[in-house]
Amino acid sequence: MGEKSGRHVLPYSDIDLSRWREYEHIWTDSLWLIEARDRSGGHQLDYHGNFVPQIATQTYLRYTRENDIVLDLFLGSGTAAVEAVRLERRLVGVELKGELVDAVRRKIPPALLDERIHILQGDSTSRETAARIRAVLDRMGARYVQLLLLHPPYHDIVRFSDLPSDLSNAPTLDAFLDRFESAARVGLELLEPGRFAVLVIGDKYTRGELVPLGFYCLARLQRLGFRPKAIVVKNIEGNEIGKGRTANLWRYRALAGGYYIFKHEYVMVFQKPA
């Protein structure tokens, strides 16, 4: 922990612990009740499956400093990139779908694109993509990234494309977990020792059985060497209506089937050993 002029600054964030009472906007509880998606600062609700910007806000403030580099291996519609611009972080994002890459690039100010914000099209599980990320980091004058974001598809709940390398097309749960682990291994190698990784994931329910996808992914990250630091439960109240589901229908199904309706997902925090 650094100490300058009476300040007590953490090595991985701009939080000054000597002023800890001033950080009421930074959440430290493990239950996040988010009423609505933040649509300020350039954020848009324009793609199914993107995570709420508040997750990026909170994890950036807790685990990065200004000008640190964030690596998002499942960039999607670019929430992480837009928030990096807003909070003055740098970012390397990887997305499999070419049309999404083009859409995210249009959201980034031209002066920052390919300078502070780099958007790559590719398969995050491949060594070729890892090499391309390293080349970008070299141009940025960096060896490592300071925060890793992992927000993969929740297996086959939503099919995002017809591409065989898309994790949502994995033919089995084990195949999905193997591919996820391959991407996480790329991230582990590129993450600075001692810094943090954030996994945003939900569970699934199929053929009358709960599939604890989040905890399966947690186990794979542990196997790679990541150390679990926290599990946050974030509620997703209202998403059922947005997906065309009526509350009464799902309440009936839950009562009849003996299960509970998902209104949560996980934000799991890990640290790479120093």
Coil/strand/helix, residue 45:
coil
Nearest CA among 76, 102, 80, 77 for reference residue 89? 80
**Is 90:68 a contact under the CB 8 Å cutoff?**
yes
Helices 79-86 and 98-107, axial angle in degrees (round to 10): 20
**Is 80:70 a contact under the CB 8 Å cutoff?**
yes
Distances 19 to 12, 22, 62, 178, 266 between C-alpha atoms, Å: 16, 6, 15, 44, 29
Buried b (16+ CB within 10 A) or exposed e, 178-193: ebbbbbbbbbbebbbe
pTM of the full predicted structure?
0.90
Return the CATH fold of 28-271: Rossmann fold (3.40.50)
Helices (H), the chain: 53-63, 79-86, 98-107, 127-139, 173-190, 213-224, 239-242, 247-257
Residue 24 above 90 pLDDT? Answer: yes
Which tokens sit at 84?
């990096």
Domains in the chain: boundaries: 28-271
Highest mean pLDDT: which range of 157-161, 232-236, 246-250, 268-272: 268-272
What is the distance between the alpha carbons of residues 23 and 27, in angstroms, rounded to a whole number? 8
What is the distance between the alpha carbons of residues 230 and 267, in angstroms, rounded to a whole number? 8
Coil/strand/helix, residue 128:
helix
pLDDT tens per residue, range 69-114: 999 999 999 999 999 999 999 999 999 999 999 999 999 999 999 9
Q: Residue 236 has what pLDDT? A: 67
Nearest CA among 195, 95, 181 for reference residue 145? 195
Averaged pLDDT, 226-254: 75
pLDDT tens per residue, range 241-260: 444 456 788 788 889 989 88
